[in-house]
Structure formats: C-alpha cells, structure tokens
Structure 1
C-alpha cells in the first residue's frame, strides 16, 4: 500500500537490523507489540541494543483494544473473571473506538532495495512441524493479507452477522465470522472489526444483539491476553495450582485416536478431521473435542493444546491455552470442572441433520454414533488402515464418572 517491500533475512534479528540500519541510515524502527511474553522480552532486549546505536525502536499496540491488564479492578488487581472485565472494557469506552480514516503517507523508498532471500530459505515446511504436515497446503478458504481480511469481514457483515447470536454454535450453518486467523496475524485490527459492527448496527438496529455477541467474543480474546500476561507460561502451567494434582491417564493409543478422528464419537471425529483438513475447527466443536480429550480420556490438556497449536491456523499464545484451561477447569474464568459435554447429545443439538459430520466423515450414516464409512483411511494418518465401523472407544457414562472421581481426588 505504501510502496514497500518484504525483505527476508535469516539469522540473528538484532544483528540484521543493526546492519540494515547502518547501511540505510535508519533512525527509527516501528513495529507492533506481539504481547507474547517470550517475544516481548526479546523486543525489550532489542530496543535497548538499538538505543545504544541511536536508533529509536517504537512498539505500538495494533492488535488489542487495550494493552493486557491495563484495565483493572477498583482495587488495582488484574481481572480474573471474564464478565466483570467485559463490563469494565465497555464502561471504559474500549469497545466503541473508531479508527481514523486512512491517511496517505509519503514514504521515500531507498534508491537501492536491500537484498532479500526467498521465503523457501526459512525452511517453513512440513519437516519443521510437530505433526509432519505441510501447512501451506489445503487452506483454500483463507486469503492471507489485509485485502483477504477486509473481504472476509465485509462478507460476514452482509451475510452472517444477522444470524450470529442465534446460530454461531450450529456446526451445520455458516454463522461464524472466520476472522480469527486474520486477527491473529495482524491482517485486520479489532478496531476495524468494531467499526464495521457499529456501522451495520447503525443502519440496522435489529442487529444489536448479534453485534453485542461479536463484541464479547473480541473481548474474550482481550481477556485471554490478560491471563497470559499474568501467567507467561499459560500453555505449560495450570492457572489454578489446585489442579496440579490430577492423575492423568495419558494413554498414547487413545490420544492418537483423538488426533486422527477415530474415537467412535461422530462429532468429535468430524471436528478433528476438519482441523486436519482445513486448519480450523468450528468454535463449538473445539470445546467438545477438548472436553472429550480431557474428561473422557483423562489426557493432560497440555497434550491437546500443543496439537491445536500445531494444527490451527488461528492458534495464538493467549487464546489457545486460555481456552484449553477454560475447558479443563484450571483457568481463571473456567467452566466448572464437573461440566462434561455429552458428545452424543451435543451432536444432536448442534448438527441435527448431520450435515457437518457427513462433510468430514465420508459415508457417515445418521442414527449411529459411530462412523459408518466405506473408507478405511484414518484421515490423519493415511498410511494406517483403520476400521471406521467401530464403537466408541470409551462409554460416556463410565468416562464421566471416572473423570469426576479423578478431579474430585486432585487434592489427595
């Protein structure tokens, strides 16, 4: 947009920036905060190093409505419960900010552009991922970049917002925004999304309930970054230490069945296959698959969080672990640990005509909670021949009682 170019270099970031700054007489570097604790520490070190060279290093907040834990309780403590945090953000006007019109910036390009390496030099292929999957393939629903993000937003405002509050949990309907990956990578800001919401609501007041629900989802993302700021190891440690005593089973065979979508519970399996095939998963199904791993199989939530981190296009360092801990009951504003989703009734409620399950489980026949497929492939591990006419790997009632006992005995 400003006539700039992407320069790709591989090596020590500080040394590369110093070299480029000296070569092109750079006096100011502008970037965005990531609010990832590890990256923030690196940026602080980089800032101090550059300042000794006379280079100003400006980090701006472009990805959140408010810096993590900037809004606090009356006693000055960070919020640990979502609803009061949401109310405080609304009261503070953070959900009403309008962005300024685009301004033309006349950047003066260099006479000679710096040399750049090809993207392939970074080694971002399937050999670098935990799953062994090349994640540059099969994501035809995404159009990366600002133009793709704005197009997605416009499509949702026009076609999906009017259904959002009522049908966002329905797996068989297109009622979600699909903006999460664009937000994750800074291709669109939450301020831009808010502006579009308010404009739609202004012209169509009947959209208010749906607009409010979407705003609350944006604020959940804010809340998650607040938790990450309070607990920088959110992906590794229970937010509530009282859950450290849970005795996990961690059965690797059952974990593999969950990964590959061969548990025998159709909605769980459809969700895990959607994840593998597309890099996303319906928001309702994320909760159901996470609950199944944690409660039905008693497998450590960190195993699931790591798998989602590797597979999800929109996985970020705050929302991913915060949501997993919410399901596990170990998070700050968590679902009660005794809430255990029934994957059978969840399928009947949120995929009543089995449209979602048929889409991701070829040959699926409604009326049975196990897969009825003519295909022997496990979907995830294509080289593994798997009989999909299987019964559920664990009985729901038995699993529920086992989980309640394990969670109740976590202090013993």
Structure 2
C-alpha cells in the first residue's frame, strides 16, 4: 500500500500561558510562567497548592444551551482550541457536511463531573436530579463524543487514554490512519481539567513541587533542585490531513508529521525507566527515516520529578548525545497531563515557525545527567526544521513524534 504524506493544516491552543496561538508564542519567547498559588487547594488540604491557571471560557456565543449542558471543563478547553484550529486550517462548518472528518483526542480521566453527580445523589437520594447532561460529561470519551456531535463528524471517533502520553498518541494514531489511506482528515489533540478534584489523588502521592512561595520557580525540569511537578491543563488541537487533501482544498500547510514511535516500559506503574523512552525515540527516528544527528531540537517530556527527568536525560544522551538543543516547556506550563503531548507539539511548531527555541526556565544547576545535554536555559534565536517531542505516562506508556517544517 502506498504511504501518504501527513501534514498539519491547523492548530489551536487554550493553556495557562495563553488562550490563542499568538499569546502562547509570545509567552514561549519571553519564558513566561503560567503557574500560580491556589488558596482553595491549600484550604482543602492539598500538600501543594500550585497549579497552572486556565481561564474559564464563555461558550454562550458559540453553543446553545442543549450543547452546553453535556460539556465539562476539559471539553470546554478542547472546544476553544478546536475552534481556533479549524479557523487556522480554513475549515468552515459546512465542510463537515460534504467531507468525512474524524476525531482522535487524548483524555484519561474526568473527575469534577463524576464527583458533582455523586455528591448530588448522596445529598438528594434521587437520581432524576442529576440531570440529563451529566452522563455525557462524566465519561472518559466526553471530549470526542461532544465535539463529534457539535461538528457533525462522520470519520473515526475515539478517545485515546494513555495517561500523560494521551495527546501525543492521538497525533501518532491519526498520523498512522491517514498515512495508510484509511482517513483523509482527523482532528487530534488532548485536554485536561485543572480543578482540584482532578488533582487531589495526584497530590496525595507527594509528587507535586513544594516551592509555594515562588510559584513561577516551582517547575524546574532537569535542574538539580527540582522536587516535583506542577499540575496544569487546558486544551490543544491539531488538524491532521493527507498532503493530497490539503493541496486539493488549498489549505495552509504548517508542518509535516514524519515519524511516530511508541513503547511500554513493562515495569513499575509510576516510576519510569530509560529503556522504554529510548525505544520510542529510536522507533520514531526509524519511521521518519532520519538519523539522530538530523534532529535540531528536542522538546523533552521532563516534568520536574527527580527520577523521571534523570531517566529521560539518560535516554536522550544515549541516542542523541549532547548536541541537539533540549528544553522542557513544562518549566513554564507545568504538567498539562493528558493534554501535554499535543500542546508541546504546538509549542514546538510555534518555535519552528518563528525561529526560536523556548527556554527551559529555572534551569540553574545541572545534575550529573542533565549536564550531559544541551539544555536551553534562555531563549535561543535559532532556525530549525526538524524536531522531536517526547511524552511518557503512568503505566510505562511512551510516545515520540518527529515533525518537520513543510517543504514541497
């Protein structure tokens, strides 16, 4: 079977460092942090009250009441990101009536909607009071079921649940479906709710950063003084399309997906190793048919945890050595969890479009592993055309994507 080229024709982002591509690009260039202290979490008993703050979108101008009652927080973010991505891709609503479009979106939990419904049942002892929209808010597939209905999508329709690699795997799976000729266009991405209910059990693990007096300095991937991640969220959407489809409709082509690699660690449920990430990166290189030396930038998964960052640094060094510039945008955004794999591809494309590499802020003192890498600690004005983005998650799931600047 002939393998088709897969391109990106649209992007949209709704995050703690901006709610549009323009805002996010500026934040990336300036090294602006989106991390804040949340008094509500501290009052609720959180060990760490730090979070990436994302504004609540107003959907009334865009969706009717019936549509809004089945939409939860993560879908609100995903919808806003998808609106921008479709506009970016020059796709109007009438397009969906004439063409088959699919959706693959990363989401691996829904907390607030489930808790609210359960609390209501416990208080009122009457399921009828829960409301007709609650079930559609509380299912793991809430994002894809709502967006596919709003946009009348008739292609593939699935949620990718793979912990913090969900958003990345959604792009990878979309790439494979289009590459093999099974779909022409797929809306891909990832979303994550930021409310405290979504993060309470995470906080209970004791893996969150403790530097509450300096929120902007708390997320410090690869730095020797890192002591945990900062939770965050939002929505990120990319429009994947076959090259033939994009050319036929005269779409703007932003980038090309070149390779996708995946693996499972097959070990501890929460502690990552070196071998799994290295396998995913090597597979991405093989799929893209490029040498490791060709990669000009690596957006690392690095979440600011002691063990995770160290193992990723070891894996990167094993395959790439110390040459390519490396940074973790989580230093600014915190860990956007199910969204991160998609948002970090967007962040990297924005850098590639605008000839700079965003800094790994708060990188002040390297440890024995990170000192072997070329960590970018302040904004680097540099042209590049080929990058790799890593995403890893609980359960040992790993994803690596390689994208390039589009050239005919």
Give TM-score scaled by structure 2 length. 0.26
Pair member with larger Rg: 1
Higher RCO by CA contacts (8 Å cutoff, separation 6 or greater):
2
Give TM-score scaled by structure 1 length. 0.26
Considering fraction of residues, name the structure with more helix: 1
